[in-house]
Amino acid sequence: MYRLLKTDGRAKRGELQTVHGTIQTPVFMNVGTVAAIKGAVSTMDLKEIGTQVELSNTYHLHVRTGDKLIKEMGGLHKFMNWDRPILTDSGGFQVFSLAGLRKIKEEGVTFQSHIDGRKIFMGPEESMQIQSNLGSTIAMAFDECAPAKAERDYVEKSVARTTRWLARCKKEMQRLNSLPDTVNPNQLLFGINQGAVYADIRIDHAKRISELDLPGYAVGGLAVGETHEEMYHVLDETVPYLPQDKPTYLMGVGTPANILEAVDRGIDFFDCVYPSRNGRHGHVYTKFGKINLFNAQYEKDDRPIEEGCQCPVCKNYTRAYVRHLLKAKEMLGMRFCVLHNLYFYNHLMEDIRGAIEEGRYSAFKKERLEMLNTYDKK
Ligand SMILES: [Zn+2]
């Protein structure tokens, strides 16, 4: 159950009550692809850095280890020892971007596993069954994420099919939730808006999927090659046609600046691999922009990664030491950078929530965007 607590312009401050606890929004979900955050970060760590929602990838868990085994082990929450909300994606994005040779039909998609090349079929029902076996808090609808540069004609047909798939997802999820041995009988299904950069297709699709009265809606198919301006334009046009009294999730986005802009356009759920991926390469976030700890200027720098940061790394270690670990290829160096970066994102969301509550989001956004550009200006 989603409660809209406050609005400030289009920015939303809400909370989503789930069987695994209440999510305060806007929220950044921490991406743990195969039920682990890359960079040797555990669920114990996630609690320490203020993570509200962990996100796992259906496709990856299905092809390796397998959702049936995870169900036997009591579901994903028990398996990875995480009692807070988990969101699973539908597998659609990986099927369309990662898997080899694929064939799309009305029933679903046949593709080859990127691990062992075996043929797998996945349609709306299969995706729901896998996510039901995992027992996540929030399951995502199975959709096709058309390339950003796809022709209009292709996008129209693809979106129409995605709409039909969504009705099948809803029906199958209801059936699975009612089974006696289901892991999470209260699993929530979010629908996904598609339509590439064509505003009219997006709007029409948003209206159609809203009629299904799902517990939440995502905007998908962005951050796949279009410009930031195109993405903001799509949000300006589309979000007003998604229900305001439901959570709105922008999939796979993005930089701190992207998040600040998208919150201002009514988005309240985010996920992105940037903080963990950048961390693994020694790129760390600060209020004033991203820095590369491999740079020689940090060799004797006895300040924390970010001054004033309350993360476990910044409270205990210097830039010089973290840089040394990275240079020595010690796993600890990566781990520290990922921990700091995820804390940075989680903490940014906390500041965003505070600014909306106090009705000063617009000024807050402007100030933060300027600060983030500090290093780039030099
Ligand atoms: Zn820190």
pLDDT tens by residue, 151-207: 999 999 999 999 999 999 999 999 999 999 999 999 999 999 999 999 999 999 999
Q: Which residues are bridge partners to 139 per DSSP?
A: 88, 189
Tell me which residues of the chain have a pLDDT lower than 50. none
CA of 332 to the centre of ligand 1 (A): 14
CA of 36 to the centre of ligand 1 (A): 20
CA of 304 to the centre of ligand 1 (A): 7
The reported pLDDT for the residue numbered 100 is 64
The residue written with tokens 């924390």 in the block is 304
Q: What whole-number distance in Å separates Cα of residue 92 and Cα of residue 89?
A: 8
Cβ–Cβ under 8 Å, residues 262 and 284: no
Q: What whole-number distance in Å separates Cα of residue 96 and Cα of residue 108?
A: 12
220-237: pLDDT as tens digits? 999 888 899 999 999 999
The whole-model pTM stands at 0.95
Residue 61: φ, ψ to 5°: -70, -30
CA of 360 to the centre of ligand 1 (A): 26
The reported pLDDT for the residue numbered 377 is 59
Evaluated on CA atoms 370, 376, 377, 378, the torsion sign reads positive
- Residue 40, Ramachandran bin (φ over 0: left; ψ between -120 and 50: alpha; else beta): left
Catalytic sites, residue numbers: 89, 271
CA of 1 to the centre of ligand 1 (A): 33
**CA dist list (Å): 22 to 16, 52, 198, 249, 365:** 5, 9, 35, 16, 25
CA of 378 to the centre of ligand 1 (A): 23
